[in-house]
Structure 1
Amino acid sequence: MASLRTRFSPSPTGFLHLGGARTALFNWLFARHYNGTFILRIEDTDVERSQKIYEDDIIAGLTWLGLDWDEGPYRQTERLETYRFYTQELIARGAAYYCNCPKEELEQRRQAALARGEKPRYDGHCRDLGLKAGSDTAVRFRSPTDGITHWDDLTKGAIAFDNAELDDLVLVRADGVPTYNFAVVVDDLTMNITHVIRGDDHISNTPRQILIYQALGAPLPQFAHIPMILGPDRAKLSKRHGALSVLAYRDMGYLPDTMVNFLARLGWSHGDQEIFSREELIRSFSLDHVGKAPGIFDTEKLAWLNGHYLRQATAAALAPQLQEFLSKIDIRVDDLATLANVARTLQPRAHTLVDMAAQARFYFEDPRPYEDKGARKFLTPRIKPVLREIIARWQAEPVPNEEALHQFFKNMQEEAGLKIKEIAQAVRLALTGRTASPGLFEIIEILGWPEVLRRLRTAVAACP
C-alpha cells in the first residue's frame, strides 16, 4: 500500500485528549505499517470556539508522543477557496441549492416537528425554489429521499442507513464558512486520503459524507470506526476517571513511550502481548485486530506500565528529564552525570518522573525532618555512641565498596551487640530521612564522604 494516506484532523476547540491522541496514534501506526503518508489537518472552521492555545497544545502533544506527520499542518480556514469551488460544483450538478430560511423559522419548525413526535429535520422548504446566492443564503445538500447508503467498515463490518432518515444538511453557512461534513469530504478528497480512521461517534456522519462523495462523482475512501474509551465504570471517559489532556500526563511524569503503548492497547490487541516497542507496534498494527468493544481506561495499569518504561530507560536518558522535574520543586542541578546516578538508584522504585523527583529530594536537600516512626525506633540513646564510632572510623578510612560496607556493619554489630538492621537503618535515616531508600552504598557514593559525615553528625545530635 505505497499510496496509502491517513490523516488526523482535530478541531482546536479543546486540548488534545486521550481519545484524540489514540485516533492519531492508530492513523500514524497504520500509515507507518504500510509505508504510507500521515497528514495533520487542523479543522478550525468553528471560528468562535477555535483558539490558538488549543492548536499549540495539539501540536505539542503529538510531538511529545513522537507521532510525526509527513504533511501539514493544513488548516481549513486557509482553504476557503477550495470549498467554494466544490460548492459551485455541487450546485452545477443539481446536488445542492441555496436556502434563505431564517434561524428563527428553522427553530419554530424544529419545535413543531418535535411536538408532532417527528424527528427535528429540515423540511425542504427551499429545495425547489431555485434561489440565487445572497448575503443571507446558505447552501444545502440535496439529499436523496429514498434508497440505502451503506459501506463495509474496516472495523465494524457492514453498516447501512436509510436515506429517508437524512435531511438536507447545510454545506456552507450564510457567512461562507463550510460545515464539518462538507469540509471533511473536500479535504479528504483533495488530499487523496485513502483511509479514514476515526472514533465510532462519527458513524452517523459517514452516510452524509458518502452521499457528498457520490454527488461529486468521487471515489470513496475506506472507513474504519474505532471504539470509544470508557472509564472503569463503563461510563463515558471524563476527568473524574483521571482522563486529562495528553500534556497533563507529561506533566505528571509519564513517559511518551508509556502513553503510546497504553493508548495502542485501548481497543487493539496482538495476542496476549501487553508491552510493545514502537517498532513492534508499527510491525504488528492492523485494523483487523481493532476490537468492537470500547477500551477501558485503567490508571493502575498506566502506572504499572510507566514503571516498566522507567526501569527500561537508560539512566543517561532519564537525567535531563529528572532535572526538569526537580526544577519544578525548586531543586536545580546542573550535573547530568550525577543526575544519571541518582536516577539509576531510583528506577526500581519510581512509578513516574514526579515520583522519582520527590524520592530524589534527599540527595540535594537536608533530609530532615526524619520519618517520625523510624526516628523513634532507630535514632535511640543506645545507637548514639555507635553512630559516633562510625563517624570516627569513616573519617579515618571510608569503606571502598558495597561488600566492605556490609562487612563493616557486621563488625559494628558484633562490637555493639546490636542487630545489623538497627545500625543500617539508623545510618539510612541519617542520610535520607527515611527507612526505605536505595542501597546505602549507592547513596554514599552519590552524596560523597564529607556530606555523609555531616549528615551522620546531625543525626547524632538528634538522638535523645
Structure 2
Amino acid sequence: MTVTVRFAPSPTGYIHIGNTRTALFNWLFALKNDGRFILRFDDTDVERSKAEYAEAIATDLDWLGVKPDRVEQQSKRFAIYDAAVEKLKRAGLLYPAYETAEELERRRKLRLTRRLPPVYGREALKLTDADRAALEAEGRKPHWRFLLPNFKDDPFSPERTEVHWDDLVRGPQTVDLASMSDPVLVREDGTYLYTLPSVADDIDLSVTHIIRGDDHVTNTGAQIALFRALGAEPPAFGHHNLLTTISGEGLSKRSGALSVGSLREAGYEPMAIASLAVLIGTSENVIAAPDMAALATHFDPAATSKSSAKFDPAELDTLNRALIHALPFEAVRDRLAALGIEGEKAEAFWLAVRGNLTHVNDAAAWWRIVNEGAQSAPDLTPEDLTFVRQAFDLLPPEPWDRETWKIWTDAVKEATGRKGKALFMPLRLALTGLHSGPELADLLPLAGRERILARRP
C-alpha cells in the first residue's frame, strides 16, 4: 500500500499560515513514508471559488516546497459524486427531507425544552409518497440526508453506536453516532455539501491517511460511516491543533490574516514559515530547518499538542534571521542582483552583512550605506564631531583590507587617547549613520578610501 495523503483547500481566498500547517503536515507525512501527495481543490462552491485563488494556492505551495504528485478539481468530478448518491439511494441510506431552516430550529428548541438532545428526529422518514408530492406541489424541494447506522431495527429509536479510530495526532478517539443528526449531503438546489464529495474523492483517489485540523474531529464519525456505506474501508485519520493569532483569534482566508502571499511579500524565507507552521504547538523545539528533509526529521504528528497554538510573527523573525545568517552567496545571488547588488564586491558584501539582516531585502539599505554613506547626518556631539574630524585625518592609505580598520583605530586611539565605545561609536555613526550593524572591518574595504573620505563631517 502506497501512503497517499491529500490537501483539499477551497479556492475561495488565499491560504494562510493555518492552512499551510495542514498542507505541510500532509506533505511531510508523505515525505517520511515515501508516499504520494494530492492537491485537491474543493471548488464545488461555484459562486465563491475563483481560478485566481486556485492559482495563488498552487503558487504558494510550490514556493514553500510542496510539490504535488497529482492535482484534482472537484468541479470536474461530479460524475463520481452523482454515482455515490445513486448508490446510497438504492441502499435506502439517503432520504429526502423538506423542512425549512425555521422549522428545524423550532424543532431543535422544542427538543431542548424536553431535555432531549437537539438532533434531527428523522420526521422526513415518516412522509408518504402523497405527503412528499403535496410538499413538492407547494414548491418545496428536498434536501437529502444520510441515514446514520445508529439503530438496530427502528430508525426512530437510535442507540448508542460508537465509532472508534486511533488518531495519528490525538490517539484513541470515540464518537457516538446517536448523538448526531443525519447529515445533509445534498442541498435543495442539488449542490453537494462538503462531506459527500470529500469521501467519494478519498475513495476514488485511494487516500490512505487524512490529516486535517481538529475542527473536523466531530465530523469523522459520520464520515467513517459514509465510507463504509459506500463500500470502502475508511482511511486513517489525524487531527492537528489549530493556529490562532497572537491575540487568540482564528485565522481566516477572507480576512487575509497571515496569508502565505503576504508573508512572502514581506520578505520571509519559505523554510522559516514552514518550520514555524509545523513545529509550533508541538513538543519539538521550534528551529529553523534549512530544507524539507531536515524539517521531516523533526516532524512527528503524535508530538502535537491538543490545545491551539498561537502564531507569533516575532518568532518568524527569529527563524528568518537564523536562516539568512547561514545562506551562502550562491543561494541569494539572483535576489541580490534584483536589488542592484552585483559586481565583484557583491559576495564579500553579502558575507559581511547577512548576520545583521532579518530579510534578504534588508541588504539593499546596507548596500546604499556602503556606497553612499549615512542616509542622514550623524547625530554627533560637538566633542565627538571634533574627534571624528581628527580621526578622518588619520585614515591610512590604500590598498585596504580587513586589517585596515584595526590599523586606523589603533592610530586614532594613540592620537586621541579615546578607547572602547567612546572611540568606536562616533566612528560608526559617521560612517553608517547607525548605532549598530555589520563589522566595520568588513565594510571599510568595500567602501574604499575615497568614499570614506567623502563622509568626513
TM exceeds 0.5? yes
Between the aligned partners of 2:13 and 2:227, the Cα distance in structure 1 is 29
The aligned length equals 437
Match of 2:209 in 1: 195
Q: Tell which deviates more after alignment, 341-350 or 295-304.
A: 295-304
Between the aligned partners of 1:91 and 1:426, the Cα distance in structure 2 is 83
Against the structure 1 CA distance between its residues 435 and 64, is the aligned structure 2 distance closer, same or farther, given a 3 Å change threshold? same
Match of 2:454 in 1: 454
Between the aligned partners of 1:70 and 1:256, the Cα distance in structure 2 is 20
SS of the aligned residue for 2:30 comes to: helix
Aligned positions of 1:205-354 closer than 5 A: 205-230=219-244, 235-237=248-250, 244-269=258-283, 274-277=287-290, 278-283=292-297, 285-322=299-336, 332-333=339-340, 335=342, 338-353=345-360
Against the structure 1 CA distance between its residues 357 and 249, is the aligned structure 2 distance closer, same or farther, given a 3 Å change threshold? farther
Match of 2:385 in 1: 380
Contact 2:378/2:430 (CA < 8 Å) preserved in 1?
A: no
Against the structure 1 CA distance between its residues 302 and 386, is the aligned structure 2 distance closer, same or farther, given a 3 Å change threshold? closer
Q: Which amino acid aligns with 1:218?
A: A
Contact 1:141/1:170 (CA < 8 Å) preserved in 2?
A: yes
Against the structure 1 CA distance between its residues 305 and 118, is the aligned structure 2 distance closer, same or farther, given a 3 Å change threshold? same
Between the aligned partners of 2:410 and 2:399, the Cα distance in structure 1 is 13
Between the aligned partners of 1:238 and 1:336, the Cα distance in structure 2 is 43
Distance apart, 1:42 and its partner CA = 1.1
Distance apart, 1:243 and its partner CA = 6.0
Q: Which amino acid aligns with 1:137?
A: P
Against the structure 1 CA distance between its residues 303 and 420, is the aligned structure 2 distance closer, same or farther, given a 3 Å change threshold? closer
Q: Tell which deviates more after alignment, 167-176 or 410-419.
A: 410-419
In the alignment, which of 151, 175, 181 is matched to residue 167 of structure 1? 181
Between the aligned partners of 1:359 and 1:55, the Cα distance in structure 2 is 38
Q: Which amino acid aligns with 1:76?
A: Q
Unaligned runs of 5+ in 2: 150-157
In the alignment, which of 68, 71, 86 is matched to residue 84 of structure 2? 86
Contact 1:230/1:236 (CA < 8 Å) preserved in 2?
A: yes
Residues 1:24 and 2:23 are matched in the alignment: yes
Between the aligned partners of 2:423 and 2:399, the Cα distance in structure 1 is 16
Against the structure 1 CA distance between its residues 336 and 8, is the aligned structure 2 distance closer, same or farther, given a 3 Å change threshold? farther
Contact 2:224/2:234 (CA < 8 Å) preserved in 1?
A: yes
Contact 2:341/2:367 (CA < 8 Å) preserved in 1?
A: no
Q: Which amino acid aligns with 1:384?
A: R
Distance apart, 1:400 and its partner CA = 2.6
Tell me which of the two structures has the higher relative contact order, counting C-alpha pairs closer than 8 angstroms and 6 or more residues apart.
Answer: 2
Against the structure 1 CA distance between its residues 376 and 170, is the aligned structure 2 distance closer, same or farther, given a 3 Å change threshold? same
Match of 1:327 in 2: none
Match of 1:428 in 2: 428
> How many percent identity over aligned positions?
32
Q: Which amino acid aligns with 2:36?
A: T
Contact 1:199/1:225 (CA < 8 Å) preserved in 2?
A: yes
Between the aligned partners of 1:149 and 1:419, the Cα distance in structure 2 is 75
Match of 2:154 in 1: none
Distance apart, 1:417 and its partner CA = 4.9
Contact 1:254/1:306 (CA < 8 Å) preserved in 2?
A: yes
SS of the aligned residue for 2:400 comes to: coil
Between the aligned partners of 2:166 and 2:234, the Cα distance in structure 1 is 11
Against the structure 1 CA distance between its residues 95 and 433, is the aligned structure 2 distance closer, same or farther, given a 3 Å change threshold? same
Distance apart, 1:401 and its partner CA = 1.8
Between the aligned partners of 1:255 and 1:341, the Cα distance in structure 2 is 22
Distance apart, 1:28 and its partner CA = 0.5
> Given the two structures, how large is their TM-score scaled by the length of structure 1?
0.83
Distance apart, 1:104 and its partner CA = 4.6
Match of 1:76 in 2: 74
Contact 1:12/1:43 (CA < 8 Å) preserved in 2?
A: yes
Q: Which amino acid aligns with 1:214?
A: R
Match of 1:402 in 2: 402
Between the aligned partners of 1:187 and 1:52, the Cα distance in structure 2 is 20
SS of the aligned residue for 1:152 comes to: strand
Contact 1:252/1:354 (CA < 8 Å) preserved in 2?
A: no
In the alignment, which of 137, 141, 149 is matched to residue 142 of structure 2? 137
Distance apart, 1:253 and its partner CA = 2.2
Q: Tell which deviates more after alignment, 356-365 or 436-445.
A: 356-365
Match of 1:328 in 2: none
Unaligned runs of 5+ in 1: 325-331, 460-464
Between the aligned partners of 2:25 and 2:447, the Cα distance in structure 1 is 46
Contact 2:12/2:53 (CA < 8 Å) preserved in 1?
A: yes
Q: Tell which deviates more after alignment, 361-370 or 17-26.
A: 361-370
Distance apart, 1:150 and its partner CA = 2.3
Contact 1:230/1:237 (CA < 8 Å) preserved in 2?
A: yes
Distance apart, 1:300 and its partner CA = 3.8
Match of 1:38 in 2: 37
Moved over 6 A (4+): 132-135
> Given the two structures, how large is their TM-score scaled by the length of structure 2?
0.84
Against the structure 1 CA distance between its residues 80 and 413, is the aligned structure 2 distance closer, same or farther, given a 3 Å change threshold? same
Against the structure 1 CA distance between its residues 77 and 350, is the aligned structure 2 distance closer, same or farther, given a 3 Å change threshold? same
